[in-house]
Amino acid sequence: MTDRGIEAFLTEALLRRAIRTADIRVELDARVPGEAGRLRSDVARMERQALVRVCAERWGLKVEMTRMVRFGPLSDDARERLNGTVANQRRLLGPHAPGARIGS
């Protein structure tokens, strides 16, 4: 798929669920932050990985999220960055788990 193809697919899937998109960004392969390589043209084909950022709204609730998809093994650097991100999320979200006390 191309970056624009992924964007169109995602936009259609969200609209079918009455979710309006404010912004969708699709970064493929060399454009993904931290990955080496030359930048691709405006319409690029996905080879190994995609980083997808979506800002969408339904019933007045606006949500922004980022997801990364990768085919094949992670490089040592990418695995280290992923582990760091997971550790940060645990620190930030841990105190908000169901049943957690406000004082914690």
What contacts 15, CB < 8 A, 6 or more positions away?
21
Tens-binned pLDDT, residue by residue, of the chain (104 aa): 888 888 999 999 999 999 999 999 888 876 655 555 545 455 677 888 888 999 999 999 999 999 888 888 888 988 898 899 889 988 888 778 788 777 76
pTM to 2 decimal places = 0.65
Burial string for 29-54 (b: 16+ CB within 10 Å, else e) reads bebbeebeeeebeeebebeebbbbeb
